[in-house]
Each structure stands twice: as C-alpha cells, then as structure tokens.
Amino acid sequence: MPPFLSTFFPGVYAKQLAIESSKVPTSPYCKFDSPTLQLFTSSLFMAGLVASLGASYLTSRHGRKATMLASGIAFLIGAGLTAGAAHVVMLVVGRIALGVGVGFANQAVPLYLSEMAPHHLRGACNIMFQLATTIGILVAQLLNMATAGMGAYGWRVSLAGAALPAILLTVGGVILPDTPNSLAQRGHGEAAVKVLRRLRGVEDVDAEMEDIRAAVQAAAKETGGWKTIFQARYRPELTMAVCIPLFQQFTGINSIMFYAPVIMSSLGMGTKAALLNTVIIGAVNVGATLVSVYLVDKAGRKPLFIEGGIQMAAAQVAMAVLLGMYFKDGSTTLPPAVGIAVIAVICLFVSAFAWSWGPLGWLVPTEIQPLETRSVGQGITVAVNFALTFIMGQFFVTMMCGMRYGIFLFFAAWVVVMTVFVGALLPETKGVPLEEVSALWRAHWFWKRVVGPAVPHGASLVREDSASGALTAMGGKGNDGRKV
C-alpha cells in the first residue's frame, strides 16, 4: 500500500513513483528490489526458526497445549507492535514477535492434530492445519483489499487483523485438552485415558493406550531427543525431517504467495488489479487444499506428492516461457491476454502445491517420527522450513531481478529432484497407526539397508509390493501379541 511504503520504505516508494511516471527506466523484474523491504517480510521466518528450536523442548516437557498458548500470546504482542508501529524498527520487532508465534504454532499444532486423530482419518485431520492456513491467507488478502482504500491508516487496520486469530489460538490453548500421547509421556496416565475416551467416544480404549504406553516406555529408554535422532537407526526420520521442508520451500511457493502482488505490479498491473488477482489465487489455494483433505486418506500420500510435483514443474516451465517470450523485447507491461495466461499458470501451480507439497509437507513429518524423537523431529522440520523461507523471502525479489524469467526454471528443476526423491525414498504411511510407522523403514528397499531388516515378534507389520514398491500394512502381531 502506498501509505505503508511512504512511511517505512520511502526509497522504494519514490522509486516506484519514478518508474510509474516513466522517469526511471528499469526491468519489470526489479521494481521492488529492496533489502530492507525484504527484511520486513523475512524477519518473521528467522524468528520462527529460532523459536521452533526452543519450542521442541517446550512441547516435549510441558505439552502441546502449553506451546499453543505461548504461540497465541506471542501473536497478540506482534499484532499490537506492527499495527501501532511508529518506525521501521518497531515494525520489524513486531514481525519478529509474530515469527515466535508462528514457530511455536507450527511446532505444536501439527503434532496435536496427528496425535488426536484416529489413524484412518489422520491425514484429513492434519491437513485441516494447512486448510486453516490457506483460509487465513485468503482472509488476509481480502482484508488487504478492503483496507487499501482507507487512506493513511488502512495498513494499520490490516496488520491489526492478526489479533483475531491470535485471540482464538490463545483461548484454544486454555480450554483444549492436551494429547493422550503427551499426557502419558509426562506421567499423567489417567488423564491420558480420559482424554482418549472422549476423543474416540467409547470406554474401551485399552488397545490404543497399550500402544501409547509402549511408545512412552521406548522413549524413556533414550537419553534425549536431540542426541537420539542423530543415531543411525533414526537416519530415515532425520533425513525426511530435513529434506521434506527443504524441498517444500524450493517449490518456490512462498516466494509466489508472499510476492504475488509485487510480481503482478512488476508485470504492469496496477495495485488494485494485483490485489484482486492475489485474492483469486488465494481462493484457488483454499479449494485445492480441500481436494487434499478428501483424497489424502483415499489415494495416499505418495500419489499426491508425485502428481503435484509433475504439475508444479510444468507450471513453472510454462511461466518461464510466457515471461521469456514477452519481456525479451524490453516491454514493461503485459497485454491482457498474456496477463490472464500468467494468472492461470500461477493458479495451476498453486493448486498443485495446495493438494500435495503444501499439506503433505506438514503431515508426513509428524507421521514418520516415533514418540522419542517426535518433538525434536518436528522442531527440525519447522526450523528447516523457516530457514529456507527466510532465505527465499530475503532474496527472491533480488533473484527475480537477476535471473529474470529463469528463476521459474530454477524452481522447476528443484521440483523434478524432489519428486524423484519422494517417489524413491518415502514409504506410504496411509492407514498405518503412528506407533507402527517405524516398521515401514525396515521393509523399504533402501532404508532397510540403513536401519536393518529386523521386524517385531513373529510377523512383518508391512509388506513391499515388488512391482510398485508400495508399502502396505499387513495383519500380524505386535510386541504384546495383539493382532495388528
């Protein structure tokens, strides 16, 4: 918004006015290239990175509920500071407080959902986290459109809007119960049983509680999460905790979502048109996430990962071709037909991400960790995610200025790599109870060479399809002799 830019980033605002009046010739890719402006965006994620590492301790020792409460409080502080900012330092400090809230929430909420959900609905329940995120993005975009015409204080109303979800998160942190897994791990066995009965709607939860107690006992034998997760037998979990969020950011999604108005303004659209098109993209994001909610427990995780990767790579290449063909003549605006095509390609890309790498990038890391490394593993996932988000947020506009349309080919190449990685090295976790996912690694064609092919007493809990390489749960008996 012009009043926001003129208040905190006057250099960027002056450059924008000069470009729009044709006094300063520049590449359409470089209109918003400002390290300070990028710092405003990316500071949130550096704070989230640091906070997520501390949040893993808080989540493990004090529970998922306490971490969500701390997140809501940090959000409230950040909303107040940014909405009331008098200078750029106060603005960035407010973003940092919001980053702490994001770090804590992304650590606790996916774990909370995975541990609360029955295993046959775990995918859909966990993806509600991503669905809520996409709805939040859409609401923020609509709020920006509504406040853009309010004059000098419109941006303050927009930033103050963060207080509403902050209040909801804080209240939830007070009234919601903690997860049975967390309660049992912290020595509150009776409370864990009560919560599990309420969740499942039945009195007989002995079988599930036995699995949780067994996981707690196994976790108690380890010296500590950070030391434990670096042991060789947890190499698959550590690899996925690092690689999945890393690859998720190298899809280029956050760069496109954060800077969609900037990209569209850079390509010759006015501020209002840019905001409207961003709302359209946000609506596609929500709709496609609903597709993932429906399909994830039916089709499975890997098919969505692979289809989404193919579609994203194709969209990135199409984007590069469109921009490369048009801007080669030095033009600084897009004709209507090309502008519509660009929006359509972005929507194609966003929809693919929203039903694949977006929600699954948060779901799968929470599923693959055993209880003894779950909090730390999620902390690593969030930290890597935020580290890469910070890098992309800080340098994307500069990269776009230097690489021009080639930046989309850069991301397309990464999408091809990550699709092959998931297809070859990630087992299918659909329908497998949390406490039995570890057995998948022992049956996987590659990971069994790392962790060993040992299986629970007497029978394999998973089998590998020799034709497809897919892993599926089988009937068998666990350590306690119960049927699985």
Q: Is residue 462 part of a domain?
A: no
Task: Summarize pLDDT for 239-249 with one digit per residue, the tens.
Answer: 999 999 999 98
**Of 319, 335, 327, residue with least CA distance to 253:** 319
- Tell me the C-alpha distance between 59 and 68, whole Å: 9
**Using a CB cutoff of 8 Å and minimum separation of 24, what contacts does 396-399 make?**
396/38, 396/255, 396/258, 396/259, 397/32, 397/33, 397/34, 397/37, 397/38, 397/259, 397/262, 398/33, 398/35, 398/38
Task: Summarize pLDDT for 126-139 with one digit per residue, the tens.
Answer: 888 888 888 988 88
Contact 37, 12 (CB under 8 A): yes
The whole-number pLDDT of residue 418 equals: 96
Max Cα distance, the chain (Å): 79
Q: Is residue 468 part of a domain?
A: no
Which parts of the chain register pLDDT below 70? Answer: 19-20, 22-33, 222-225, 254-255, 257-272, 327-334, 393, 453-484
Q: Which residue range is the domain that position 286 belongs to?
A: 23-436
Contact 94, 189 (CB under 8 A): no
Provide the 10 A C-beta neighbour count for residue 434: 23
CATH number of the domain within which 37 lies: 1.20.1250.20
Q: Which two tokens stand for residue 193?
A: 């049983």
Q: Is residue 482 part of a domain?
A: no
Q: Is residue 282 part of a domain?
A: yes
Q: Is residue 1 part of a domain?
A: no
Provide the 10 A C-beta neighbour count for residue 106: 26
DSSP 236-279: HHHHHHHHHHHHHHTT-HHHHHHTHHHHHHHTT--HHHHHHHHH
* Number of domains making up the chain: 1
